[in-house]
Structure 1
Amino acid sequence: MSERDNKPVLVTGGCGFIGCNLADRLAERGDRVLLLDNLARDGVRENAQWLKSRHGDRVTITVADIREPIPVIDAVREARAVLHLAAQVAVTDSVTDPVADFEINARGTLNVLEALRLHNSTAPVIFASTNKVYGRLIDDGEIALTGRRYAPTGNGLAGGISENAALDFYSPYGCSKGTADQYVHDYARVFGLQTVVMRMSCIYGPRQFGTEDQGWIAYFLLSAIRGNPLTIYGDGHQVRDALHVSDAVSAWLAALDHIALTRGRVFNLGGGPANAISLLELIDGITDLTGRKMTYRFADWRPGDQPWYVSDTRALSTTLGWAPQIFLADGLRSLHSWLDGRFGSSQDNREALA
């Protein structure tokens, strides 16, 4: 093994939902992993403990913030690759505090890129972008209600939104992530860095501590488990494609392992048309899965809400041979099982007996 191969893979935001699943897979296959996380979000300390209990010294955790250049430089300098997921992830928080949102998502990403450019320019970097860079995409006149979901009226979107769609940042979150997205892409063109941008859509799965603002599939399932009512912003017919985190991790690692094919590229990463679902359809599915009828009320649409978004992932499939392996119905059962074990009555019973 060469000296470079023995260096760790750096995962920023590595104790978050996607980050810890990536770190787990990397460690399982024998990679050393360095996580950089400020441990500020709910659930991340638990994810950190889970990773250490499974992998011991193969996983190292540095508690730091990507807004601080020095610890970012120190971490990047010793990495053989960087998987950059550290971010402010909620549209609502970006509206409440646009400056903090920008500092974390845009400036923090620039810190990572500059550390790579100046101190480790041959290390690949894969960036977690978002479908929000495309903005609202479709006007009300371009969608029609079909059953319990919206569908585009034109024939050109049957396969989903491709990477060729025009960028139209909407909401401070869209602006900050879009800025970072374009910086990552341009650092490949201008400075020759080995960068990949993943524009992700609705990743879900175990280790996700869903909230009303982020991780909506897990949040809906948690609400059913706890018997809590939901607030649906909009009319519930809005559609998203969902991708199980196991499939997302496979795509990220395939992009890393085949960096000669993916460098300088931008890819959409989601479940595609076969895994698209509306909010109301998800509620129906959760009712069938749990046997618990959910209660909900409606509220106004929020800034940047898309009435319809489905990823066209054919570029990723053509380049890497990747395709989702876990379909939504099976993924929901998997996530429900994990959430119920962690937060449901079985967990309450175990804690009561402890």
Structure 2
Amino acid sequence: MTENRTDRPVLVTGGCGFIGCNLADRLAARGNAVIVLDNLTRAGVRENAQWLKARHGERIDIVTADIRDSISVIGAVREASAVIHLAAQVAVTDSIADPVADFEVNARGTVNVLEAVRLHNPTAPVLFASTNKVYGRLIDDAQIARADQRYQPVSSELADGITENAPLDFYSPYGCSKGTADQYVRDYSRVFDLQTVVMRMSCIYGPRQFGTEDQGWIAHFLLSALRGDSLTIYGDGYQVRDALHVSDAADAWLAALDHIGSVRGRVFNLGGGPSNSVSLLELIALLRELTGRDVAHSFADWRPGDQPWYVTDTSALFNALGWRPKIPLREGLISLHEWLASRFGESGKREAFA
């Protein structure tokens, strides 16, 4: 049995972005009314908005507003049964170029959301999209070793991935702003008794992701392969991430929302885990197999805060909600390839990869 379900809409900030529109779609498909609050400034979001309206009509109410505008946030929060807060500035490079704007969106915007809930709708759960970047670089060069086409940690204690007990170490303005928001969300549960959950996400990928060099790297790599564009790898390519398909991510978010009473105040790492980990060079090899094309690439210096290795330990989510990833990386890449190929008019060779 689920908890806290009402006829009032669920508010999804940033709901026309990649993860947001997938979550809004899932909510509407199961019968929830949804308010999507988005400033509609990023590439692809207007197309995602049209897609949501075409699929769900009046069940989706799209409000064009910015989370930096506290009045607009209050208006949306007042009506909501729950708030899923995804709106953010998402690129490390943009945060370095304009740290103040990054802070205003990620840190101040999140406080605007929390204050709107605290003052005007304190029973509404708040689920927040954080990031593994709150852990900083995480491990030093001496703590990793190369194995074939990837880095791996020297210590066997990290074999299952990074737990929520890893110390925070914000690195880059983006890491600082998201980490600040992360801690505000957690603290509003402790101090003001709000029903909050923090999801520290690793690499999420899947349909409706318009990948760029700065965000959504798996989609960016695949789209570059389809277009025949050359990739730039920052670092040496042996760095490792775990990848989670967006449908699996949505399962985790909805499970936390539906059982907020048992997970309120918690922080979870959300990712694909060791079985879905991949290095940049390994992904290029997979994409070459998937598309039947060479993937041209060059190398550039590491960027501030880049992690040589990050893999999520998902045991906390499993123990709390029975959640675990279901879609293996190869299968998930096929679904992303099919969507990108249909969206951008490119053909691929699915049969060679299946």
TM over 0.5: yes
For residue 81 of structure 2, what is the amino acid of its counterpart?
R
Provide the C-alpha distance between the structure 1 equivalents of 2:336 and 2:308, rounded to a whole number of angstroms. Answer: 25
Work out the CA distance in 2 between the residues paired with 1:208 and 1:304: 23
| Letter aligned with residue 283 of structure 2 | L
Whether the 8 Å CA contact 2:248–2:325 is kept in 1: the answer is yes
Cα offset, 1:344, TM superposition: 3.1
User: Counterpart of 1:186 in structure 2: which amino acid?
Assistant: D
The equivalent residue for 1:78 is: 79
Q: 1:202: which partner in 2?
A: 203
2:143, 2:154 within 8 Å by CA — same for their partners in 1?
A: yes
Q: Deviations over 1:198-233 (max 9, x none)?
A: 000000000000000000000000000000000000
Map Cα deviations across residues 264-323 of structure 1 (whole Å, 9 max, x no partner). 000000000010000000000000111001111000000010000001110000000001
- Contact 2:205–2:219, Cα closer than 8 Å, also in 1: yes
The one-letter code sitting in structure 2 at the alignment partner of 1:216 is W
Output the amino acid matched with 2:337: H
Tell me, in whole angstroms, the C-alpha distance in 1 between the residues paired with 2:156 and 2:221: 31
Shift of 1:6: 1.2
Give the 5 Å matches for 1:39-50: 39-50=40-51
Q: Are 2:186 and 2:267, in contact at CA under 8 Å, matched by a contact in 1?
A: yes
**CA displacement at 1:335 relative to structure 2:** 0.2
- Structure 2: tracts of 5 or more residues without a match: 349-354
Secondary structure at 1:345 match in 2 = coil
The AA in structure 2 aligned to 1:264 is G
Query: Paired residue for 2:31?
Result: 30
Could you tell me which residue of structure 2 aligns to residue 289 of structure 1? 290
- Aligned Cα RMSD in Å? 1.1
Amino acid in structure 2 at the alignment position of 1:261: S
1:5 to partner: Cα distance: 1.0
Q: Which residue of 2 aligns with 1:273?
A: 274
Show CA shifts across 1:130-167 (max 9, x none). 00000001100000000000000011100100000000
For residues 311 and 172 of structure 1, what CA distance do their matches in structure 2 show? 23
1:13 corresponds to: 14
Partner AA of 2:289 in structure 1:
D
User: Secondary structure of 2:305's match?
Assistant: coil
Distance 1:338 1:103 in 2: 34
Q: Judge conservation of contact 2:10–2:34 (CA < 8 Å) in 1.
A: yes
Output aligned runs, 1:140-219, within 5 Å.
Answer: 140-219=141-220
Deviation at 1:346, TM superposition (A): 5.8
Deviation by residue 1:38-58 (Cα, 9 ceiling, x = unmatched): 000000000000000000000
- Alpha-carbon distance between aligned partners in 2 of 1:340 and 1:146, rounded to the nearest angstrom: 33
Give deviations 1:59-117, integer Å, cap 9, x for gaps.
Answer: 00000000000000000010000000000000000000000000000000000000000
Give, in whole Å, the separation in 1 of the partners of 2:173 and 2:5. Answer: 38
Q: Which residue of 1 aligns with 2:114?
A: 113
Aligned to 1:352: none
**Do 1:132 and 1:169's aligned partners in 2 also have CA atoms closer than 8 Å?**
yes
Report the residue type matching 1:53 in the other structure: A
| 1:341 alignment counterpart | 342
Match of 2:258 in 1: 257
- Tell me the TM-score normalised to structure 1 length: 0.96
Q: CA deviation at 1:120?
A: 0.3
Q: Unaligned regions of 5+ residues in structure 1, if any?
A: 348-354
- Contact 1:237–1:280, Cα closer than 8 Å, also in 2: yes
Q: How many angstroms apart in 1 are the aligned matches of 2:53 and 2:157?
A: 47
* Distance (whole Å) between structure 1 residues aligned to residue 288 and residue 331 of structure 2: 15
* Alpha-carbon separation, structure 2, partners of 1:329 and 1:224: 16
Match of 1:303 in 2: 304
Q: Separation in 2 of the partners of 1:328 and 1:185?
A: 31
Quote the Cα distance in structure 2 between the aligned partners of 1:180 and 1:221.
Answer: 31
Contact 1:10 1:81 in 2 (8 A): yes
In the aligned structure 2, how far is the partner of 1:346 from the partner of 1:326?
Answer: 23
Contact 1:101–1:176 (CA<8 Å) still a contact in 2? Answer: yes
SS in structure 2 at match of 1:88: coil
Q: Is the CA contact (8 Å cut-off) linking 2:5 and 2:258 kept in structure 1?
A: no
User: Which residue is equivalent to 1:239?
Assistant: 240
Kindly indicate whether the alpha-carbon contact (under 8 Å) linking 2:341 and 2:347 is maintained by their aligned counterparts in 1: yes
Within 1, Cα distance between the matches of 2:267 and 2:156? 24
- CA apart distance, 1:345: 3.0
Q: State how far apart, in whole Å, the 1-side matches of 2:176 and 2:261 are.
A: 29
CA separation in 2, counterparts of 1:35 and 1:346? 33
TM-score using structure 2 length: 0.96
**Identity over the aligned pairs, expressed in percent?**
75
Corresponding residue for residue 131 of structure 2: 130
Contact 1:85 1:127 in 2 (8 A): yes
| Alignment correspondent of 1:226 | 227
Listed as ranges, the matches of 1:83-94 within 5 Å are: 83-94=84-95
8 Å contact from structure 2 (residues 12, 83) kept in 1? yes
CA distance in 2, matches of 1:49, 1:165: 40
Count of aligned residue pairs for this structure pair: 345
- Output the CA distance in 2 between the equivalents of 1:314 and 1:77: 35
